[in-house]
């Protein structure tokens, strides 16, 4: 009987323990479901950061890693954190921190300021892991414009080499276009002359998304053209092309005395082939260089008018405008009752020979061919209706012609 009683008591005790443990297990609160936190205390390695420059400005689409020192550290993990379109990120207990438009240092400062409200002396590090802007674009006067992949340590010289170098029409400067920390465009000039002369201060480190613009070389056209100003060497690499791109010469252009200013040198150019319509003559194919200035001066051709005219003296002439004999006489006031237009003598100096003398009939019934085109240095003598001794005049006119020729030769 005692044995049976002990067995019953043992079974009762075991049953009591089992029931108690089961009840306690059922009564215990369940652990809350894990939600994907923005940051977690893990010690998983993160990918190597991109070695972007310290002033690189974060943008939507960039993937960053954020690490807060601790044991264990709090981190965004292997995949990092991609900045959304609104530019704001959440980390640890901080929500909606502006990341886009800030450098890594600026974002670190903002995160540390937020963390200080909850923990003492936080240490937070931000790195750039990936970016959709992992390229550098090159345009302008390079052999192969386009985009090249960004890699850490990429510099201007390496980028230009990837674009197969400069074209012959490249200018002396390039410009790096970069988005600044405030979202505004920044421009960093590069002196290509100094760069290729070994000045490492011009070999700037590039950032993802940088745009390098190699300026075209420029030439300048001044004076008597229809549209004076700057032209790129790429479209105006010869004298003929420069004149054409400037709209052509005006009627007041001194075609024979044009010149190219190149540094301290002055190179004469005869532009008469422009008027003649010859676009392939040797003068028009003279190659231009960066910085050249093509000067087309104002025509300074003069004709001396004397005799029975209202105003004796020199008269300026312009090709195709007022270069015929009647045009010049009209400017000199040779319309009077004493002027005998049927008796006009043209004296023209011929180099190496005696002056040429030609009598012209410029009256209403005179031949059209007598209304000749005049040249610089010509002399026109208009007789009066009462003048008889023409031989004496011709002698006088010859002396005058020689004098005019001498003055023209020594004039600037």
pLDDT in tens, 240-289: 999 999 999 987 888 888 999 998 999 999 888 766 655 556 667 889 99
Of residues 125, 68, 72, 71, the one with CA closest to residue 93: 68
pLDDT for the residue numbered 359: 93
Topology at the third CATH level for domain 302-410: Outer membrane lipoprotein wza fold like (3.10.560)
CA distances, 31 to each of 23, 34, 36, 253, 401 (Å) = 17, 9, 15, 95, 119
pLDDT for the residue numbered 319: 66
Tokens of 197: 């002369």
pLDDT in tens, 171-209: 999 999 988 766 678 899 999 999 999 999 999 999 888
Q: Where in the chain is the domain with CATH 3.10.560.10?
A: 135-216, 218-296, 302-410
Question: Is the pLDDT confidence value at 383 over 50?
Answer: yes
Instruction: Calculate the CA 136 to chain-centre distance.
Output: 18
Confidence tier at 148 by pLDDT (50, 70, 90): very high
More confident residue, 136 or 78: 136
pLDDT in tens, 326-342: 989 988 886 667 788 89
pLDDT for the residue numbered 277: 59
Inter-residue contact 55 to 129 (CB < 8 Å):
no
Confidence tier at 379 by pLDDT (50, 70, 90): very high
pLDDT for the residue numbered 185: 86
Inter-residue contact 228 to 222 (CB < 8 Å):
yes
Inter-residue contact 136 to 210 (CB < 8 Å):
yes
Topology at the third CATH level for domain 40-130: wza like fold (3.30.1950)
Q: Where in the chain is the domain with CATH 3.30.1950?
A: 40-130
pTM of this prediction exceeds 0.85:
no
pLDDT for the residue numbered 26: 43
CATH code for the structural domain at 218-296: 3.10.560.10
Tell which CATH classification among 3.10.560.10, 3.40.50.2000, 3.30.2290.10, 3.30.365.10 matches the domain 135-216: 3.10.560.10
CA atoms within 13 A on the CB side of 178: 19
More confident residue, 4 or 318: 318
Confidence tier at 37 by pLDDT (50, 70, 90): very low
């Amino acid at each position: 009987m005692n044995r049976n009683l002990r067995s019953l008591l043992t079974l009762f005790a075991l049953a009591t323990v089992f029931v108690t443990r089961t009840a306690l297990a059922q009564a215990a609160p369940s652990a809350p479901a894990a939600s994907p936190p923005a940051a977690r205390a893990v010690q998983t390695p993160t990918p190597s950061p991109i070695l972007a420059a310290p002033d690189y400005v974060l943008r939507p689409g960039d993937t960053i890693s954020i690490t807060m020192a601790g044991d264990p550290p709090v981190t965004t993990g292997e995949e990092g954190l991609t900045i959304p379109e609104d530019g704001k990120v959440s980390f640890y207990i901080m929500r909606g921190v502006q990341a886009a438009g800030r450098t890594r240092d600026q974002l670190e400062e903002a995160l540390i300021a937020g963390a200080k409200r909850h923990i003492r002396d936080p240490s937070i590090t931000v790195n750039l892991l990936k970016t959709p802007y992992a390229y550098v674009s090159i345009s302008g006067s390079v052999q192969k414009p386009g985009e090249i992949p960004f890699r850490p340590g990429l510099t201007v010289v390496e980028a230009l080499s990837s674009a197969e170098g400069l074209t012959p029409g490249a200018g002396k400067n390039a410009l790096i276009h970069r988005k600044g920390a405030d979202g505004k465009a920044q421009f960093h000039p590069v002196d290509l002359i100094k760069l290729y002369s070994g000045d490492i201060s011009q070999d700037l480190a590039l950032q993802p998304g940088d745009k390098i613009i190699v300026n075209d070389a420029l030439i300048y056209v001044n004076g008597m053209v229809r549209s004076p100003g700057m032209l790129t060497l790429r479209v105006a690499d010869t004298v003929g092309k420069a004149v054409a791109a400037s709209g052509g010469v005006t009627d007041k252009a001194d075609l024979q005395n044009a010149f190219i200013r190149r540094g301290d040198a002055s190179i004469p150019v005869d532009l008469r082939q422009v008027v003649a319509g010859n676009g392939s003559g040797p003068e028009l194919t003279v190659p231009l260089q960066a910085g050249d200035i093509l000067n087309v001066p104002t025509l300074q051709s003069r004709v001396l008018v004397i005799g029975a005219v209202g105003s004796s003296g020199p008269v300026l002439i312009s090709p195709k405008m007022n270069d015929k004999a009647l045009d010049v006489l009209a400017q000199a006031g040779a319309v009077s009752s004493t002027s005998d237009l049927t008796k006009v003598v043209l004296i023209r100096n011929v180099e190496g020979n005696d002056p040429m003398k030609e009598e012209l009939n410029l009256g209403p019934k005179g031949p059209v061919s007598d209304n000749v085109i005049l040249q610089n240095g010509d002399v026109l003598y208009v007789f009066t209706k009462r003048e008889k001794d023409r031989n004496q005049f011709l002698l006088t006119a010859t002396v005058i012609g020689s004098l005019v020729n001498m003055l023209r030769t020594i004039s600037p």
